[in-house]
Amino acid sequence: MTILKIGRRGESGGAPTAAATDTPQPRTKDRTAAPRAQAARACPNWTELDAIDLVSRAGRFLVHAHTDEVFTAYDGHVWEKDRIAYGWDSPIYFTVDGDHVRLLERYHLSWSEIVATQAGAR
């Protein structure tokens, strides 16, 4: 594992230098995760999905195993620290995995419709 150290201006010109280490750095716990999960669950327009029900397909899609609905990553900005600042009125879906809230949006086609469209194009 290589860690880059960046010096302050005047120290090595601020250029990154590599330092090898065999000790992995401990992952810092996200202190905003629990409050974000709580805020997401309290938002009436947001829907929690069980991550175990989502199957990855075609790289960018997550397909719900029971409903055939397709979800993609939600790229909008919604958080301000540990609270919802934007998007509280949008139909956002989410999963909670340990210390991470993953935001999703529903795709306009079901997985069956995507497959049928691809088969018709051949």
pLDDT of residue 102: 96
pLDDT of residue 32: 81
**Ranges in the chain, pLDDT < 50:** 1-27
Instruction: Please give the Cα distance from 93 to 63 (Å, whole number).
Output: 13
Residue 114 is assigned to a structural domain of this protein = yes
pLDDT of residue 54: 97
pLDDT of residue 1: 42
Residue 57 is assigned to a structural domain of this protein = yes
The answer to whether the pTM exceeds 0.95 is: no
For residue 51, give the 3-state DSSP assignment: helix
pLDDT of residue 71: 98
pLDDT of residue 30: 65
90 burial via Cβ count (<10 Å: 0-12, 13-18, 19+): middle
Q: Provide the token pair at 121.
A: 């194009």
Q: 57 forms bridges with which residues in the sheet?
A: 61
Residue 1 is assigned to a structural domain of this protein = no
Q: Is the dihedral of CA 84, 85, 89, 93 positive or negative?
A: negative
Domain residue limits at 62: 31-120
Q: Please state the domain count of the chain.
A: 1
Residue 26 is assigned to a structural domain of this protein = no
